A and B are shown apart, each in its own frame.
Chain A
Amino acid sequence: MNNWPHFRLEKRLTVPPWLEFLTLAVSLLLALVAIAVLFRVLGVNPIVAYQRIFRGAFGSLYGLSETIVKAIPLMMCGIGLSLAFRARVYNIGAEGQLLVGAICATGLALSRPDWPSWALRPAMFLVGFIGGALWALIPALLKARFRVDETLSSLMMVYIASELVNYLVYGPWKGAKEMGFPYTDKFSPSAQLPRLLNTRIHYPTLILALVLAVLAYVLIQRTKWGFEIRVTGENPEAARYAGMNYFKTVLLVMLLSGGMAGLAGVGEVAGIHYRLRYPQGISPGYGFTAIIVTWLARLNPLLVIISALLLGGLLVGGDAIQVALGLPVATIYIFNGVILLFVLGSDLFTHYKIRLEWRRER
């Protein structure tokens, strides 16, 4: 006769909000523990590392401002993605849509340097939005018309966008005054976004992102289109049955999420770099990190603001430990991956009760 413990899963009928918060907090904590093991293996005291990260990201005014700088594109992409993911349309290509937005804004800034700033800056955001949206339109059409899996096609579009940027900055758009670097010429002042005091926070983009977060929330919760998005995400069959147009919904969320990623790209070239650079220079994977941001925020556009600040801080803190502790760049990507894994895994604990039983064997 021997006893052994045995786990059983039982579906929960309702998920109280405190539980959702608790599992989220615990999963983040566990992710940190898992990464601590990794630091240990790399020969770094994890407590020191975490201290550095925290101090780097939030411990000084400079760090805080840089955290906000990194959070801006994450917010912008994350808000759009929360709409797409709600409809269960998995747009993984925000990174590419961001780059195309940057290309379009650069094109306008370089060709119309003399336009007054009040016209040029909004026009750059507009063409950036359109560019990102059109880039997302391709996988959207493929999905809605031919049932091509959008996860794959939107991801592939990232590489095309990335090579397009490379082609432009090494080729036709290579700056005359950039001494052979793969940069375009610097934008005229009227194409440069203003910054807050002596930080790099390009506040027009930040304000735009905050406004869009509220609009996205209202769209999803209070409008007909939001209703269609939610029904489609819950049950595409029911959406068809209720006379909703699946094609339209897929297109809508792809265009919106692509367009918002495009806006993020505009912010980067017009607010940070004042030029188009090689792709990794424009975005260290904001479009991918935004997927984690969105999931952390439970697909809620308002919570995206908070989770974007959190992961923005992680990026800044990651830079800090890279320099201070001599860790490779990849550390921060591992960091991101581990967090996503734990957050996604924690869903099990919110939706199921787990019972430990001692099973008797005779």
Chain B
Amino acid sequence: MPNPSEPHLAVAMHGIVKRFPGVLANDHISFEVRAGEIHALLGENGAGKTTLMNILYGIYQPDEGIIYVKGKRATIRSPRDAIRLGIGMVHQQYRLVSTHTVAENVVLGLPVSFFFPERAARRWLEEFSQKYGLSVDPNARIWQLSAGEQQRVEIIKALCRGADILILDEPTSMLTPGEIDELLGIIRRMAAEGHTIIFITHKLDEVFAISERVTVLRQGKVVATLETAQTDKTSLARLMVGRDVIFRLEKKPAQPGEVVLRVEALHVLDDRRLPAVKGVSLTVSAGEILGIAGVAGNGQRELVEALVGLRKSQRGRVFLKGQEVTNQPPRALIEQGVCYIPGERAMGLAPGLSVAENLILKDYCQEPFARGAFLDYAVINAHANRLVDQYSVTTPSPATPVKLLSGGNIQRVILARETCQSPTLLIAAYPTSGLDVGATEYIRQLILQQRDQGTAVLLVSEDLEEILQLSDRIAVMFEGEIMGILPAHQADLGTIGMMMAGAQRIPMSEAA
């Protein structure tokens, strides 16, 4: 066993254990990163990658285990300690003050001169721009920047604080393919300058594109640490998931029926009142799944919210089974059989109310759950017992507050509620994000089942694999527009990737 205090190791974590209520997030993890290397930390959502890195960055304290940084034993009680040790972290959600300028964000909290502190920032920005290609306009306000530019600001912030060990938590998740290439270039240049990079990801391609070594986590344990050059995609996938991955799901050919949803040239604004959906037209028929691919933040959320009545559209029309439903309120759409699995799970739940009550969140005002003004809890509980069984929700009882369930079970509660009455139109936004393989497979099968029962399904996902597995037709969204709609059997990753980046457009006429 190598000596953990060897100086050529930038980071050595040994026997790290971290428990959360009901979960063992890190189970005796040992993790070593050599100085100056790009080390990928690979694992599925929930494998414990982010927890481990949050421990290294001082956000969590480990229950057990020891940490060495640059050969010295370290107690990292807070991010401040981590920064002092030269560790920087770029989180998945950026932590920037959106109304302030880039320069102001960079110097925030730094001991620079009291007056005009952003002057120092300008100097740094100049330097990093030349050295690593990290160019951002110091005077721009954060909200004006793209996700990729905001990420650069975060990296610059870490560098200004003297970070030579940089943790990037799923840095590509919000970026377009072009921005990803730029980021990978920046990372390579930083590594060449002697920085150590820990790159958290669940995407196999990125591991091969950037890393020298890779550590695979599964269910809180380290499965393997390998030289990237000496492994391949299939074996990494097997290590990550714990079994052979079926890249195609059993799927019968679709039997599309009548058109259920027709959207004509829809325009929707985002929260900042800027155009987010720009003239989207599409149709979804009964018994088919239309997948909408695209990097998050290209108008998918606004489109979906307009379709379920949570956001007003500016122009354009929406038809449900031939009836115009443009800008009808959520209640009216719910009653016409529009069901919605929201992208942010929290939106679909009242966390402190019981599983049973959450299962009738939408139907509470209808027979048989309501009799006149009163709720009939006998019926509500019976309904809950039935759905808990049918959808295999693991819960101590239907009376348990839903916030106590795990992510996968919470999603099952939402799915049970949204699919139990055979909806006319099912809109599923990022239905498997953050879930483990088991739950993911179950949910994908359920969505296919809905399709086979004649439901029209609109699936929004960032996960191309999911889109390819489930969809019968694939629409690609970029900057609020549909770049084209392809039948799934004609779709290849290259074309879709180009369309996601806005580099290719397929005329609408042939698809609609």
CA distance A239 to B331 in the complex (A): 11
B330 interface residue per 8 A CB criterion = yes
Answer whether A223 and B353 are a contact pair too, CB < 8 Å, given A13-B404, A231-B361: no
Closest to A219 in B: B373
B391 interface residue per 8 A CB criterion = no
From A225, A230, A244, give the contact of B353 (CB < 8 A): A230
Determine if A238 and B329 form an interchain contact, defined as CB atoms under 8 angstroms apart: no
Q: Which of A222, A238, A242 has the most CB of B within 10 A?
A: A242
Determine if B373 and A223 form an interchain contact, defined as CB atoms under 8 angstroms apart: yes
Answer whether A223 and B374 are a contact pair too, CB < 8 Å, given A14-B404, A230-B353: yes
A241 interface residue per 8 A CB criterion = yes
A362 interface residue per 8 A CB criterion = yes
Chain A: residues with Cβ within 8 Å of the partner, total of: 27
Say how far A338's CB is from chain B's closest CB, in angstroms. 28
Closest to B330 in A: A243
Q: What 0/1 readout, one digit per residue, does chain A (10-21) give for beta carbons within 8 Å of chain B?
A: 110110000000
Closest to B357 in A: A227
Residues from chain A with a CB closer than 8 A to the CB of B332 are 243
Say how far A227's CB is from chain B's closest CB, in angstroms. 5
Of the listed stretches B35-43, B343-351, B456-464, chain A binds B343-351
> Which B20-74 residues have a C-beta within 8 angstroms of A?
21-22, 61, 73
Residues from chain B with a CB closer than 8 A to the CB of A222 are 374-375, 377
A224 interface residue per 8 A CB criterion = yes
Determine if A234 and B350 form an interchain contact, defined as CB atoms under 8 angstroms apart: yes
Of the listed stretches B6-14, B88-96, B362-370, chain A binds B362-370
Closest to B22 in A: A13
Determine if B375 and A223 form an interchain contact, defined as CB atoms under 8 angstroms apart: yes
> Which A223-251 residues have a C-beta within 8 angstroms of B?
223-228, 230-231, 234-235, 237-245
Residues from chain A with a CB closer than 8 A to the CB of B333 are 243
Say how far B337's CB is from chain A's closest CB, in angstroms. 13
CA distance A224 to B331 in the complex (A): 15
From A8, A225, A228, A238, give the contact of B347 (CB < 8 A): A238
Residues from chain A with a CB closer than 8 A to the CB of B61 are 8
CA distance A227 to B350 in the complex (A): 10
Residues from chain B with a CB closer than 8 A to the CB of A234 are 350-353
CA distance A231 to B364 in the complex (A): 11
Closest to B331 in A: A243
CA distance A227 to B349 in the complex (A): 13
Residues from chain B with a CB closer than 8 A to the CB of A225 are 373
Answer whether A237 and B340 are a contact pair too, CB < 8 Å, given A14-B404, A231-B361, A243-B362: no
Q: Which of A11, A223, A235, A362 has the most CB of B within 10 A?
A: A235
CA distance A128 to B332 in the complex (A): 37
Residues from chain B with a CB closer than 8 A to the CB of A245 are 331
Determine if B361 and A242 form an interchain contact, defined as CB atoms under 8 angstroms apart: yes
CA distance A30 to B310 in the complex (A): 47
B334 interface residue per 8 A CB criterion = yes
Residues from chain B with a CB closer than 8 A to the CB of A224 are 364-365, 370, 373-375
CA distance A194 to B61 in the complex (A): 65
Residues from chain B with a CB closer than 8 A to the CB of A362 are 73, 75
Determine if B340 and A241 form an interchain contact, defined as CB atoms under 8 angstroms apart: yes
CA distance A231 to B358 in the complex (A): 9
Determine if A238 and B361 form an interchain contact, defined as CB atoms under 8 angstroms apart: yes
Closest to A362 in B: B73
Say how far B366's CB is from chain A's closest CB, in angstroms. 10
Residues from chain B with a CB closer than 8 A to the CB of A226 are 375
Answer whether A227 and B348 are a contact pair too, CB < 8 Å, given A10-B21, A222-B375, A243-B330: no
Residues from chain B with a CB closer than 8 A to the CB of A237 are 346-347
Say how far B459's CB is from chain A's closest CB, in angstroms. 18
B342 interface residue per 8 A CB criterion = yes
Q: What 0/1 readout, one digit per residue, does chain A (210-228) give for beta carbons within 8 Å of chain B?
A: 0000000000001111111
Say how far A281's CB is from chain B's closest CB, in angstroms. 40
Answer whether A235 and B349 are a contact pair too, CB < 8 Å, given A222-B375, A243-B331: yes
Residues from chain B with a CB closer than 8 A to the CB of A223 are 373-375
Determine if B364 and A227 form an interchain contact, defined as CB atoms under 8 angstroms apart: yes
CA distance A362 to B357 in the complex (A): 52
Answer whether A240 and B75 are a contact pair too, CB < 8 Å, given A224-B370, A224-B373: no
Determine if B353 and A231 form an interchain contact, defined as CB atoms under 8 angstroms apart: yes
CA distance A362 to B72 in the complex (A): 12
CA distance A85 to B320 in the complex (A): 39
Determine if B348 and A238 form an interchain contact, defined as CB atoms under 8 angstroms apart: yes
Residues from chain B with a CB closer than 8 A to the CB of A231 are 350, 353, 361
Q: What 0/1 readout, one digit per residue, does chain B (287-309) give for beta carbons within 8 Å of chain A?
A: 00000000000000000000011
Determine if A242 and B330 form an interchain contact, defined as CB atoms under 8 angstroms apart: yes
CA distance A240 to B311 in the complex (A): 11
Determine if A241 and B375 form an interchain contact, defined as CB atoms under 8 angstroms apart: no
Closest to B77 in A: A359
Determine if B347 and A241 form an interchain contact, defined as CB atoms under 8 angstroms apart: yes
Residues from chain B with a CB closer than 8 A to the CB of A230 are 350, 353, 357
CA distance A225 to B331 in the complex (A): 15
CA distance A10 to B404 in the complex (A): 14
Residues from chain B with a CB closer than 8 A to the CB of A240 are 310, 330
CA distance A243 to B337 in the complex (A): 13
Say how far B382's CB is from chain A's closest CB, in angstroms. 17
Determine if B334 and A243 form an interchain contact, defined as CB atoms under 8 angstroms apart: yes
Q: What 0/1 readout, one digit per residue, does chain A (24-58) give for beta carbons within 8 Å of chain B?
A: 00000000000000000000000000000000000
Residues from chain A with a CB closer than 8 A to the CB of B364 are 224, 227-228, 242
> Which A333-362 residues have a C-beta within 8 angstroms of B?
361-362
Residues from chain B with a CB closer than 8 A to the CB of A8 are 61
Determine if A241 and B346 form an interchain contact, defined as CB atoms under 8 angstroms apart: no
Determine if B310 and A241 form an interchain contact, defined as CB atoms under 8 angstroms apart: yes
> Which A278-307 residues have a C-beta within 8 angstroms of B?
none
Residues from chain B with a CB closer than 8 A to the CB of A228 are 364
Determine if B373 and A243 form an interchain contact, defined as CB atoms under 8 angstroms apart: no
Say how far B380's CB is from chain A's closest CB, in angstroms. 10
CA distance A14 to B401 in the complex (A): 9
Residues from chain B with a CB closer than 8 A to the CB of A239 are 350
CA distance A242 to B373 in the complex (A): 18
Offer 29 A-B interface pairs, CB within 8 angstroms, sorted by A. Answer: A11-B21, A13-B21, A13-B22, A222-B377, A223-B374, A224-B364, A224-B365, A224-B370, A224-B375, A226-B375, A228-B364, A230-B357, A235-B346, A235-B347, A235-B350, A237-B347, A238-B349, A238-B350, A239-B350, A240-B310, A240-B330, A241-B308, A241-B340, A241-B342, A241-B348, A243-B331, A243-B332, A243-B334, A244-B331
10 closest cross-chain pairs (CB), A and B: A243-B331, A234-B350, A243-B330, A242-B361, A231-B350, A242-B362, A243-B334, A237-B347, A234-B352, A223-B373
**Chain B interface residues toward A at CB < 8 A:** 21-22, 61, 73, 75, 308-310, 329-334, 340, 342, 346-353, 357, 361-362, 364-365, 370, 373-375, 377, 404
Not counting A223-B374, A230-B357, A235-B351, a sample of 5 additional A-B residue pairs whose C-beta atoms are within 8 angstroms of each other reads A224-B364, A224-B374, A226-B375, A240-B330, A242-B334
